[in-house]
Amino acid sequence: MSLIMLQSAILQSSIKDLIEKSTSNLSKLIELYTLYNQPVKIIDDTLSEIIGATMNDVLCCGTGGSGWDNSDGGECKNSSHVQSKFCAGCGEKVTFFAVNCPCCKVSTEFKASLSQKNTTKTNPRDGRWGINAKSHIEYKDQLKEYRLTLLEPTEDKPTCRSFRFRYWVIGTDSEHLNRYATAQLESQKSNHINFQPLKADFYLSKPVLKFDGTLNVLEDRTEFTFQEWKPENTIPEPIPEEYQGKDSLESIQSKKLEKNRGKTGRKKLGQSK
C-alpha cells in the first residue's frame, strides 16, 4: 500500500469513527424528542464543521460567531432533508419521526405543506445552505472553499432510520456562484443566498463530491458505511439531465432578486392554521 493510500484509509476511518461516536445516542433521542414534537438533528452544524476540519487536517476556529468555520479558511454549510411535516387533520406542524400527530392525537396522515390537497408527499425536501453574498464578495480572497454536507432520509417514512450523507466542496473559482453572489449583493433584496442542494444553481456551481455514505441508526449505536470515498477528487458532479442546457447567466437573470419574500410571524398559541 502506498503512503497516499494509507493516509486516505486512515482519514476514512477517522471520519467513520467521528460520525458514529457523535451520533451513537440517536435512537434514544429520536424516541424522546418525538414525544415532545421536537425535531432531531441527525447531523448538526457543529459536527459538519468538525467533519470539514478532519477532512482537511485542520482545526475549527473555537467560535460559533464571526470568523471561518475551519482554520484554513474553509466555510462549512450543513443541510438536512429530514424535515417536519403538517398533520392532514389539525394542520399543526409535527416532526419527521411522528407516526401519530402529537397535537390532535388522532391523525396518522401528513403532508409536506398546508396548501397540499393530498397526502402523497409528506416531506418538502427543500433544505437550504445559507450563504451571505456580501461576505462572499468581501472575503473571497481569504475563503478557501465551501464545504457542503447534506443529509437525506432513504425513505420519507417516520420509521426511517437510514440516512444518506454526502460531502462536497465548491471552490472560490466557481463562476456561477460568484455571479450569483454579485447579483444578490447588487439587488434590492437581502444579502442572503438560499442555496438549494441538488438544484440547478448547485450543479452550475461545479460541486466536487468527496464522499457519499449511509448512516444507519440502530437501537444501541449507529453505523456509517461509505458508498464512495474520493477525498482527492477534483472532478465536478455531472449535471443531471433535467438541468442540462441551463445557462449560468440566463439562470441568474431569471431570478426575481428585486422581489422581497413575504413576512413571517410567530403563530399564536392555539392557532393551528
The CA–CA distances, whole Å, from 241 to 37, 245, 254 equal 38, 9, 20
**Confidence band, pLDDT 50/70/90 cuts, at residue 271:** low
The pLDDT value recorded for residue 156 is: 98
Rounded to an integer, the average pLDDT of 169-186 is: 96
Contact 209, 233 (CB under 8 A): yes
Q: What percent of the chain has pLDDT over 70?
A: 93
The pLDDT value recorded for residue 269 is: 56
Q: What is the mean pLDDT of the chain?
A: 93
Span 145-162, pLDDT tens digits:
999 999 999 999 999 999
HSE, side-chain direction, 13 A CA sphere, residue 39: 13
The pLDDT value recorded for residue 265 is: 52
Other residues' Cβ atoms within 10 Å of the Cβ of residue 136: 22
Rounded to an integer, the average pLDDT of 190-213 is: 96
Span 205-228, pLDDT tens digits:
999 999 999 999 999 999 999 999
The pLDDT value recorded for residue 174 is: 97
pLDDT: is 265 or 16 the higher one?
A: 16
The pLDDT value recorded for residue 273 is: 47
Q: What percent of the chain has pLDDT over 90?
A: 87
The pLDDT value recorded for residue 121 is: 97
pTM to 2 decimal places: 0.93
The CA–CA distances, whole Å, from 135 to 44, 106, 255 equal 23, 47, 20
pLDDT > 90? residue 266: no
Span 101-133, pLDDT tens digits:
999 999 999 999 999 999 999 999 999 999 999
DSSP per-residue letters across 80-133: E----EEETTT--EE-TT-SS-TTTS----EESSTT-SSSS--------EEEEH
Other residues' Cβ atoms within 10 Å of the Cβ of residue 55: 20
The pLDDT value recorded for residue 256 is: 73
Span 17-50, pLDDT tens digits:
999 999 999 999 999 999 999 999 999 999 999 9
